[in-house]
Amino acid sequence: MLLPACFGPGHAPEALVAMDSDRALLGAAALIWVAAGDPPAFPVAVHVRPEWRGQGIGRSLVEAAAGFAAAEVPALQPWGLLDEASEEAAFCLATGFIVHHRMLHFEGEAEAMEAMLARYRERFDESGYVPAGARIVSLPEAPAEAVANLVAREFHNSPALMQARFQGRLGRAPDPDRSVVLLLDGVVMGAQLVTLGDDAVPEVEANVVHPSLRRGWANLLLTHEGTRAGVLHGSRRFRFYCDDRVIDTVNLARRSGASRTRVQLALRRPTGAAAVG
C-alpha cells in the first residue's frame, strides 16, 4: 500500500518495514534483488507515512536496506532517475546517495541542428572516411530483429519487448518516417529511434552505434540523417537527451543553440560492502 508502484507485475521486491512498538506500520523500503549498472546496484524505494516524516525513519530505512544488500552488491540506486530539484533527490542526497551522472534534456531547432551536422558531415564525406557500403534507411526498411537486438543490448532491455514496440504492440511505437538505421554492407550497425510526443514534437529516445564504429563517422551520419528526416517531414523543433558523460553530444547541443529543459540525476549509494570500488 505504501509503495504500490514497486509491486507491479514483473517485480518481486524485498520489503523492509518500520513499525512502532504496537506494530503499526510507519514506513517501508522496497528493494529489487537484481543488480544493474556500473557499479552494480539494487534499486530501492522508500516511503514514510506523512505523519511520521522528519524523524529519521526514512534515513533508517535507507541504512537498513544498504545493510541488507551489502553482502550482495556494492551500491543501491533509486528506482529511477530523479529530477535535480525534486524532494526525492534532496532526501536521497541527504541519506548517503551521490551523483553518478546526470541526464540532460534539450529542446532545439531541427533546421539549425541539421545545418550544423551537414557542415561536419561534408568534412567527413570529403575525407573519404565513410565506407562505400554505409547506408541509412528508415526503420521500416531495416531488419527489425537486428535493430531490436542492437538497441536492447545497449539499454539492457529485452529484444522481444523492443520488437513489440516496433510493431505498435507495446507503448508508443517509434515514428517510421523519422527513425533511421545505419547499415554497413547490409548489417545493422546503428539506429536512431524517434517517437512523437503528445504535442507531436519528435523526441530522440535512443541513439545507438555498434561499439566497433564508435568515435568515428557513424554517429554523425546517423544523427545527421535522422535530423534531416525530421526536417523533411515538417518537424521544426525536436527534443533529445543525453548522459552528461557523453561530451560530444553535450557539445553538439550547446553549439546548436538547443536549450536545456530538464536535468535528472542518476544516484548511487555505497552499501558498505567490501566490493565497493
Ligand X SMILES: CC(C)(COP(=O)(O)OP(=O)(O)OC[C@H]1O[C@@H](n2cnc3c(N)ncnc32)[C@H](O)[C@@H]1OP(=O)(O)O)[C@@H](O)C(=O)NCCC(=O)NCCS
- What's the min distance (Å) between Cβ of 77 and ligand X? 10
Q: Which lies closer to ligand X via its Cβ, residue 53 or residue 153? A: 53
Q: For residues 174 and 168, give the distance between their C-alpha atoms in angstroms, rounded to a whole number.
A: 8
Q: Which is nearer to ligand X, 65 or 242 (CB)?
A: 65
Report which of 175, 168, 277 is spatially closest to residue 234, judged by C-alpha positions.
175
Compute the least distance from the CB of residue 156 to ligand X, in Å.
21
Residue nearest to ligand X (CB): 58
- Calculate the CA 49 to chain-centre distance: 30
Q: Which residues bind ligand X (CB under 6 A)?
A: 45-48, 53-59, 78, 87-88, 90-91, 94-95
- Closest CB to ligand X among 52 and 129? 52
Q: How far is the CB of 217 from ligand X (least distance, A)?
A: 42
In degrees, rounded to 5, the angle at the alpha carbon of residue 89 between the alpha carbons of residues 84 and 92 is 150
Write down the least CB distance from residue 129 to ligand X, Å. 46
Q: Which three cell numbers stand for residue 267?
A: 544516484
How many angstroms separate the CA atoms of 139 and 177, rounded?
8
Reading the block at residue 103, the C-alpha cell is: 541526464
Nearer to ligand X by Cβ, of 59 and 102: the residue is 59
Q: Which single residue is written with the C-alpha cell 568534412?
A: 123
CB of 27 to ligand X, least distance (A): 6
Q: Which three cell numbers stand for residue 128?
A: 573519404
Judged by CB, which is closer to ligand X: 49, or 135? 49
